């Protein structure tokens, strides 16, 4: 079967590996583009959020290329995303596409459903369970290599001597990880990627600002929608640390663990209100406590969970002295507005640092 799935950051490389090795043909949707947006906004309800529209557009592009099965994940808590899979399916079927849709809910919440869906995929691909476990582990190792490479790229970029070089090397790394097929090859590609990134000419005497990136998962992970916020900040000399990566493994390497974030959020928000709101709140607290210079919250326009989180930000910001910039994202592709806000935010953080260190203010920019 030709299987397609959501396009989100670099994860498609691991999903491609998974399905190709399970006796199917992985159909990677084209990276989100203006065409994706056009399809998505044309057929989605006007009031839906941007992740819904981009995914819909992406599915249409994949179906046009002959996808037969769409595999996606369900939502988390009371957020519209929980019904997106079903809604996507209905809209696409009403447009006349013939396909099957599989929405994977959390294995813990719906173990039976989870396994029966996996079984159907395996049966169609004539793949045994032991083989599946091996392939799944390989894909996981790949995903870890991808996340690890990306984390390193955000760390190297603010030091790079030639603007854009880190991004160029990062792209090459992704290509070689994509080519790696056996577990050994994947590990090898990952370690070469690390070496290549570390070899980017750098000026280590710089002192980059550190900014934590939080918010709704799709807009945080997909650079097309967040207008390359991490690359842009990196090239302004900022080391970004993102709270969300798809692998738990990398979470050990990042600052924020899920349960820690929930505990940290408690003084401000003590329950799950849908989406990533609780994490956004808790992660902001943790970034502040760990001496980060600032936090940027990325949210889809009209996203209720993130709106609630945003309304708590002024208090957290005051209590813990951490500046927070909230950016609402929708279908804009013009970058000027975001660029202005990011530049001003970085200026603010630099001034603040200088104020702390030297006691001089605005006139000394």
Partner 1 sequence: MHGYLGIDVGSVSTNVVVIDADREVLQALYIRTKGQPIQAVKKGLAEIAGLLPADLVIRGVGTTGSARRLSGVMVGADIVKNEITAHAIAASHVVPQAQTILEIGGQDSKIILLRHGVVTDFAMNTVCAAGTGSFLDQQASRLNIPIEEFGGMALRSKTPVRIAGRCSVFAESDMIHKQQMGHNTEDIIAGLCEALVRNYLNNVGKGKEILAPVVFQGGVAANLGIRAAFEQALGMEIIVPRHFNVMGAIGAALLSREEVKHKGHTGFKGFAVSDMDYRATSFECQGCSNLCEVINISVDNQLLARWGDRCGKWETLAG
List interacting residues with partner 1 (CB under 8 A): 30-31, 33-36, 164, 167-168, 224, 228, 301, 311, 313-315, 317-318, 323, 328, 330, 336-337, 339-341, 343-345, 347-348, 351-352, 355, 361-365
Query: Which residue's CB is nearer to partner 1, number 63 or number 313?
Result: 313
Minimum CB separation of residue 340 from partner 1 in Å reads: 5
Minimum CB separation of residue 347 from partner 1 in Å reads: 5
Minimum CB separation of residue 195 from partner 1 in Å reads: 23
Query: Which residue's CB is nearer to partner 1, number 21 or number 157?
Result: 157
Q: What does each C-alpha distance from 169 to 43, 186, 201, 214, 221 come to in angstroms? A: 37, 17, 11, 25, 19
DSSP character at residue 282: H
78 touches 65 (CB < 8 A): no
Query: Which residue's CB is nearer to partner 1, number 189 or number 312?
Result: 312
Query: Which residue's CB is nearer to partner 1, number 128 or number 363?
Result: 363
Torsion, Cα 150 258 295 299, to 10 degrees, reads 90
Minimum CB separation of residue 5 from partner 1 in Å reads: 18
Minimum CB separation of residue 356 from partner 1 in Å reads: 10
Q: What does each C-alpha distance from 294 to 213, 221, 291, 308 come to in angstroms? A: 9, 19, 9, 19
Query: Alpha helices of the chain — where are they, by DSSP H?
Result: 12-20, 34-43, 50-64, 84-94, 111-125, 129-156, 165-179, 183-198, 217-221, 229-235, 248-253, 258-265, 277-289, 304-320, 336-358
Query: Which residue's CB is nearer to partner 1, number 109 or number 206?
Result: 206
Q: What is the DSSP string of 69-112?
A: EEEEE---SSSGGGGHHHHHHHHHHHTT---EEEEEPPTTT-HH
Query: Which residue's CB is nearer to partner 1, number 116 or number 339?
Result: 339
Minimum CB separation of residue 294 from partner 1 in Å reads: 11
Query: Which residue's CB is nearer to partner 1, number 162 or number 253?
Result: 162
Query: How many whole angstroms separate alpha carbon 102 and alpha carbon 121?
Result: 10
- Partnered with residue 153 across adjacent β-strands are none
Query: Which residue's CB is nearer to partner 1, number 7 or number 140?
Result: 7
Query: How many whole angstroms separate alpha carbon 176 and alpha carbon 190?
Result: 9
Minimum CB separation of residue 332 from partner 1 in Å reads: 9
Minimum CB separation of residue 343 from partner 1 in Å reads: 4
SS3 325: strand
Neighbouring C-alpha atoms within 13 Å toward the C-beta of 63: 23
């Amino acid at each position: 079967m030709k299987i397609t799935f959501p396009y989100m950051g670099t994860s498609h490389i691991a999903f491609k590996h998974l399905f190709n090795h399970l006796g199917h043909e992985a159909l990677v949707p084209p990276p989100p583009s203006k065409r994706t947006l056009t399809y998505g906004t044309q057929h989605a309800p006007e009031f839906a959020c941007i992740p819904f529209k981009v995914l819909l557009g992406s599915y249409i592009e994949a179906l046009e290329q002959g996808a037969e099965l769409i595999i996606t994940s369900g939502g988390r808590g009371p957020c519209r995303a929980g019904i997106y899979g079903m809604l996507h399916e209905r809209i696409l079927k009403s447009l006349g596409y013939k396909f099957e849709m599989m929405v994977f809910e959390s294995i813990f919440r719906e173990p039976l459903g989870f396994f029966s869906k996996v079984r159907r995929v395996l049966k169609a691909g004539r793949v045994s369970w032991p083989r599946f476990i091996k392939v799944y582990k390989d894909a996981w190792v790949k995903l870890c290599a991808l996340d690890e490479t990306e984390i390193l790229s955000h760390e190297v970029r603010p030091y790079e001597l030639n603007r854009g070089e880190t991004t160029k090397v990062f792209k090459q790394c992704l290509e070689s990880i994509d080519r790696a097929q056996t577990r050994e090859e994947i590990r090898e590609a990952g370690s070469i990627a690390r070496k290549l990134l570390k070899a980017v000419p750098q000026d280590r005497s710089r002192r980059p600002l550190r900014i934590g990136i939080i918010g709704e998962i799709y807009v945080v992970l997909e650079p097309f929608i967040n207008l390359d916020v991490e690359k842009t900040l990196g090239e302004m000399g900022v080391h970004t640390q993102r709270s969300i990566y798809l692998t738990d493994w990398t979470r050990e390497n990042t600052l924020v663990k899920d349960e820690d974030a929930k505990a940290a959020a408690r003084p401000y928000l003590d329950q799950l209100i849908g989406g990533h709101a609780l994490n956004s709140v808790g992660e902001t607290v943790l970034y502040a406590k760990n001496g980060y210079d600032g936090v940027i919250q990325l949210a889809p326009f009209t996203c209720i969970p993130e709106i609630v989180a945003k309304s708590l930000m002024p208090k957290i910001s005051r209590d813990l002295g951490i500046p927070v910039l909230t950016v609402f994202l929708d279908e804009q592709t013009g970058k000027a507005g975001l660029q202005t806000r990011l530049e001003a935010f970085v200026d603010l953080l630099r001034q603040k640092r200088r104020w702390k260190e030297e006691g001089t203010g605005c006139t000394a920019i």
